[in-house]
Amino acid sequence: MSNTKKLLLIHLFAHALIIPAFLYGEVWMFVASFLWWQWIAATAISAGYHRYFSHKAFRTGKWYDYYFQIIGLFANPGPALTWAGAHRMHHAYSDTEKDPHSPKYKGWFKVYTSQWGDDAYIERRMMKGLYNPISKFFYKNYYKLIIALVVVLFLIDPLLMIFGWALTVVQAFHGYGLINCVTHLTGKAKNNAIANILTSGEGWHKNHHDKSNDWRIGKKWWQIDPGAVWIRAIKI
């Protein structure tokens, strides 16, 4: 089974857990899950997977290579190696037939659900400088780590598994689905404040395309960018 199909199955499983969340959860649990996702989005996905690993936009300690890939498991973005490879292709071939994120050429549904191709589709040169023992370990063991995480959380408390993992995966799925589709619907990068709420700073997509190696995506005072706040605290 391809990695893209494995990721989709995990996302479907997480979505199914919305039912027991509404049956057995309380309001504060939904609020806590949203805040937890905001932390994951800002510190691990936006700052880690995206600005640090994919674009090398800032430097920090080696601890961060472990941090963003461990915390990233709570959002199920897939291994950082393939995530970054696909994202670099997005920038290299933005809004063309070779852009894996282009809703115009790949179809809105495939892009929204990240079903644009398997690892073999990603050009090897897009992964230049990304291979290291840590990234290779997480690539090789990604699905084992996901299963271990879900089992541990379930054994502690099934509701912890639902609100601490499943609902954050659901929020990540739709947040980045919006980024990939809505910000490129017209055939060129656009900013989107709504998508920004669900991705903790990624909605200022045109800003990012204009200067992709800048760790600050929000350029104006009103463009909220929690990822940049985190980066400012940890960069060296």
> What is the residue-level pLDDT of the chain in tens, covering all 236 positions?
788 889 999 999 999 999 999 999 999 999 999 999 999 999 999 999 999 999 999 999 999 999 999 999 999 999 999 999 999 999 999 999 999 889 989 899 999 998 877 787 899 899 999 999 999 999 999 999 999 999 999 999 999 999 999 999 999 999 999 999 999 988 889 999 999 999 999 999 999 999 999 999 999 999 999 999 999 999 99
Q: What is the pLDDT of residue 60?
A: 98
Q: How many domains does the chain have?
A: 1
The sign one gets for the Cα dihedral 60, 210, 112, 198 is positive
CB 165, CB 153: distance < 8 Å: yes
Q: What is the DSSP letter of 41?
A: I
Q: What is the pLDDT of residue 77?
A: 96
Q: What is the DSSP letter of 49?
A: I
Q: What is the pLDDT of residue 121?
A: 85
Residue 141 sits at φ, ψ, to 5 deg, of -115, 15
The sign one gets for the Cα dihedral 230, 83, 107, 190 is positive
Q: What is the pLDDT of residue 3?
A: 83
Q: What is the rounded radius of gyration, in angstroms, for the C-alpha atoms of the chain?
A: 17
Q: What is the pLDDT of residue 1?
A: 76
Q: What is the pLDDT of residue 116?
A: 76
Q: What is the pLDDT of residue 120?
A: 76
| Domain region containing 22 | 3-234
Residue 232 to residues 219, 227, 236, Cα–Cα distance (Å): 14, 9, 9
> Can you read off the two tokens belonging to residue 81?
């190696």
Task: Please count the residues of the chain.
Answer: 236
CB 45, CB 72: distance < 8 Å: yes
